[in-house]
Amino acid sequence: MRNLNLGIRFILELCALSALGYWGFTSPDGLVAKVIVGTGTPLLPAVGCGLVVAPRAPLDVPGTVRFAVELAVFLAAILALAATGHVTLAVVLGLAYVVNRSLLWVARPGR
């Protein structure tokens, strides 16, 4: 069950990065701005999560920091979807994140 939830978690992370990229490509005016913001917006959180949140992250930080970074990425993605007019998708992503995170917490090792 834990592996299934981890797989779903990965898909949710890809959805969050896609939402940030979509916001980045639709928000600014001008092609250059769209490319810079559209690629940079998902790239920065992806690098941050890779450094801190990933299972084999190179930086060893407390669990609260890992959770804060993870939560910030998902909140940004939810707000990005809402800002582009996709409120229903924002709610679905938020609910899916909360359910998945809760299931992962309940099934955590050592519990």
DSSP code, position 50: H
Give the model's pLDDT for residue 110: 60
Give the model's pLDDT for residue 10: 93
As given in the structure block, the two tokens for residue 47 are 């690098």
Give the model's pLDDT for residue 111: 55
- Report long-range pairs for 22-26 (Cβ below 8 Å, ≥24 apart): 22/80, 22/81, 22/84, 23/80, 23/81, 23/83, 23/84, 26/84
Q: Could you list the pLDDT tens digit for every one of the 111 residues in the chain?
A: 888 998 999 999 999 999 999 999 998 889 998 899 999 999 999 999 999 988 888 999 998 999 999 999 999 999 999 999 999 999 999 999 999 999 988 887 765
> CA 62 to CA 52: how far, in whole Å?
9
Residues 6+ apart with CB under 8 A from 32: none
Give the model's pLDDT for residue 55: 82
